[in-house]
Amino acid sequence: MHILHISAECYPIAKVGGLADVVGALPKYQNRIGNAAAVMMPYYKTAYVQKATTTVDFCHTLVMHKKTYLSEVLKVQDTSLGYSLYLVRIQGLTDRKEVYGYEDDAMRFMAFQRVALQWVLQQKEFPDVVHCHDHHTGLVPFMMSRCEDFDLLKMIPTVLSIHNAQYQGQFSHELGWMLPRFRESDLGLLDWSGMINPLAAAIKCAWRVNTVSPSYMEELKQKANGLEWLLNHEKNKCVGILNGIDAETWDPNSDSYLIKKYSIRNRVSGRKANKEALCKEFELDASKPLFGFIGRLVWEKGADILPEIIDNALQQYDINIILLGSGSKEVEGQLEALKSKYKGSYNAYIGYEERMSHQVYAGADFLLMPSRVEPCGLNQMYSLRYGCMPIVRSTGGLKDTVIDLGEDGFGICHNETTVEDVVYSIGRAVTHFKDQKGFKEIQKTMMQLDHSWENSAKMYVSLYKQLKS
């Protein structure tokens, strides 16, 4: 099958979070089972893009509200990706350093989606399915089915993956001119609560919708930032498919970011060397149990309670904590401030640093994920693969991937995103850590789990096939 993924992020080209990891891996695994999957994303000025060798595949002059934007689609020459990659460059709109965070983001992603579809129109052979990811590409299914400019694409099935329903990309109807012409009677398909809502529009217009874990699908029917009714109404076309991980990028036995590579066999010495290096870098004590946190410092991740968790846990237990993340300035400030109070037992790197994240999975004993909302979560799966025990709030994908030690599992689960629940779980971890023999055995179990994309890639392909028949 010819599969076209359209996304705002894709690893290693541009990554903000797990969306990039998924879009950078799923097509590769789909190709391995006999498909031809490609990725189309905006051209940003990231390090990868600046170095990439490209050829111009298509040029287009986009007209929006009488203004013209010169655009081109560049094909990247990089066979190591495992899929074809196209970058949509729109002068003055996409060619910036950051992926998100600009005032005109709605306009940037609108323009991107329009040029992407113009490119599809020019193809000799149309894709068998167009797969969109999150709200940034949520207007694609509407445009393909309702805008006369794209009439020829009407019969191509569309799939929407919801990676995060918290963000919906709403903008005012006054900006409706950004869309190509459509019939006024179709306006309702774009609207949700008086705004143009790209995520809602995609849920209404895509042929199929999936969330990135089965539990998240169920949770969204109860709590979806205002879209609960819509998701219940559309439930027959919705399904949950658990993300996988790129077991090649995330393999402690070949991970070049690590101080020492290791496999299940030499996990104890390998993890020890990585822990020691990590502790040296962060001035921590490698003989104590080490707890890590990696992630965006936002409410969904429970970041607001992290400072209190750290404070309470370090007063109660003889442990070390290391944190890697960025986001809310207030939380960043609190986490920085704790450094001097707990010098030698707590340290943090406020920022984004790919190398360090790998080192934390390989060196920490436990990974904290007190998420309030976690559609899937990749951290816990990376953590398991590296033999680092996840401590998670049972929600969304965390519920689907982590089984508590008390139920013959390999992780620690708690019910609420509260300081009490997390600190209690840290206490359980400390007790468990004392039994080093048992702990090392469980590390083996964790590392043996198979979360690679193979299964899920097949599930997506069979979903597409249902749409073709």
Taking CB under 6 A as the criterion, the residue among 354, 420, 435, 441 binding ligand ADP is 354
Q: Rounded to the nearest whole angstrom, what is the least distance from the CB of residue 299 to ligand GLC in the complex? A: 12
Q: Rounded to the nearest whole angstrom, what is the least distance from the CB of residue 323 to ligand GLC in the complex? A: 18
Type and span of the H or E element at 293: strand 290-297
CA distance 343 to 335: 12
CA distance 272 to 260: 9
Partner from ligand ADP, ligand GLC, none binding residue 353, C-beta < 5-8 Å depending on class: ligand ADP
CB-wise, 243 or 320, nearer to ligand GLC?
243
Size of the site for ligand ADP (CB under 6 A): 18
Q: Rounded to the nearest whole angstrom, what is the least distance from the CB of residue 248 to ligand GLC in the complex? A: 18
Binding site for ligand GLC (CB under 6 A): 17-19, 22, 163-164, 212, 243, 374-378, 397
CB-wise, 22 or 310, nearer to ligand GLC?
22
Token pair listed for 57: 């595949």
CB-wise, 58 or 386, nearer to ligand ADP?
386
What angle, 0 to 180 degrees and rounded to 10, lies between the N-to-C axes of helices 267-281 and 354-363? 130
Q: Rounded to the nearest whole angstrom, what is the least distance from the CB of residue 295 to ligand ADP in the complex? A: 5
CB-wise, 111 or 446, nearer to ligand ADP?
446
Q: Which residue is nearest to ligand GLC (CB)?
A: 18
Partner from ligand ADP, ligand GLC, none binding residue 326, C-beta < 5-8 Å depending on class: ligand ADP
DSSP state of 303: G
Q: What single string gives the DSSP state of each residue in 53-118? A: -EEEEEEEEEEETTEEEEEEEEEE--GGGSSEEEEEEETTTT-SS-SS--TTHHHHHHHHHHHHHH
CA distance 405 to 446: 11
CA distance 403 to 405: 7
Does 295 participate in binding ligand ADP (rule CB under 6 A)? yes
Does 447 participate in binding ligand ADP (rule CB under 6 A)? no
Partner from ligand GLC, ligand ADP, none binding residue 179, C-beta < 5-8 Å depending on class: none
Does 307 participate in binding ligand ADP (rule CB under 6 A)? no
CB atoms within 10 A of CB 251: 16
Does 251 participate in binding ligand ADP (rule CB under 6 A)? no
Partner from ligand GLC, ligand ADP, none binding residue 324, C-beta < 5-8 Å depending on class: ligand ADP
Smallest CA-to-CA distance from 382 within 372, 397, 404, 367 is with 367
CB-wise, 9 or 72, nearer to ligand ADP?
9
Q: What single string gives the DSSP state of each residue in 258-274? A: SSS---STTHHHHHHHH
Give the number of residues written for the chain: 469
Does 357 participate in binding ligand ADP (rule CB under 6 A)? yes
Q: Rounded to the nearest whole angstrom, what is the least distance from the CB of residue 134 to ligand GLC in the complex? A: 8
> Segment near ligand ADP (CB under 6 A), from 35-43, 196-204, 323-331, 334-342?
323-331
Q: Rounded to the nearest whole angstrom, what is the least distance from the CB of residue 211 to ligand GLC in the complex? A: 9
Q: Where are the alpha helices (DSSP H) in 123-207?
A: 140-146, 187-190, 198-205
Taking CB under 6 A as the criterion, the residue among 342, 352, 433, 439 binding ligand ADP is 352
Partner from ligand ADP, ligand GLC, none binding residue 212, C-beta < 5-8 Å depending on class: ligand GLC
For ligand ADP, what does the binding mask look like between residues 17 and 56, x meaning CB under 6 A? xxx-x-----------------------------------
Partner from ligand ADP, ligand GLC, none binding residue 272, C-beta < 5-8 Å depending on class: none
Q: Rounded to the nearest whole angstrom, what is the least distance from the CB of residue 34 to ligand GLC in the complex? A: 24
> Segment near ligand ADP (CB under 6 A), from 24-32, 36-44, 331-339, 372-380?
372-380
Taking CB under 6 A as the criterion, the residue among 260, 272, 296, 444 binding ligand ADP is 296
Dihedral angle over CA of 78, 79, 85, 89, nearest 10: 10
> In which residue are the tokens 């290391």 written?
322
Taking CB under 6 A as the criterion, the residue among 161, 274, 326, 345 binding ligand ADP is 326
Smallest CA-to-CA distance from 332 within 296, 371, 368 is with 296
CA distance 448 to 351: 31
CB-wise, 374 or 421, nearer to ligand GLC?
374
CA distance 414 to 422: 7
Which contacts of 248-252 are long-range, i.e. CB under 8 A and separated by 24 or more positions?
Answer: 249/11, 249/25, 250/382, 250/385, 250/386, 251/385, 252/361, 252/362, 252/385, 252/386, 252/387, 252/447
Residue 374: exposure state from Cβ atoms within 10 A (0-12, 13-18, ≥19): buried
Binding stretches for ligand ADP (CB under 6 A): 17-19, 21, 294-296, 324-326, 352-354, 357, 376-379
